[in-house]
Amino acid sequence: MNVSIPNSIQHLRAKKQVLKGNDTPEIVIASLRLLLSDHDSFSLAIEKKLHPYTAPQKLEQQTAATENIHNVIENAILYLTVGLDF
């Protein structure tokens, strides 16, 4: 769980130097912002649907996975935008 997006973001971050020098970084950053918005909206909707029926331990796992993916995407945006590395 919560592996494919973090792995993809690591691969993308490794390509930062390749992305420099054309319009690609802006397109990638805009796409990451859209992905982050979609991820947050979808996760919130799922959380609202599952909450009454989900065991507390599963909710904690879901919350941790959701937060991890959010942070990975957000950190990639910062890395590609201003060079901050987390």
Whose CA is closest to 29, among 71, 72, 76?
A: 76
Residue 18 clears pLDDT 60, i.e. is over it: yes
Domain coordinates of the chain in residue numbers? 4-13+22-82
18 or 64: which carries more pLDDT confidence? 64
Tokens linked to 80: 């590609």
CB atoms under 10 Å from CB of 4, counted, come to 9
d(CA 13, CA 61): 26
At 71 the pLDDT is 94
Residue 85 pLDDT grade (very low, low, confident, very high; cuts 50, 70, 90): low
CB 44 within 8 Å of CB 51: no
Question: Which residues, at least 6 apart from 81, have a Cβ–Cβ distance to it below 8 Å?
Answer: 29
For 47-81, what is each residue's pLDDT tens digit? Answer: 888 767 788 898 898 889 999 999 999 999 998 88
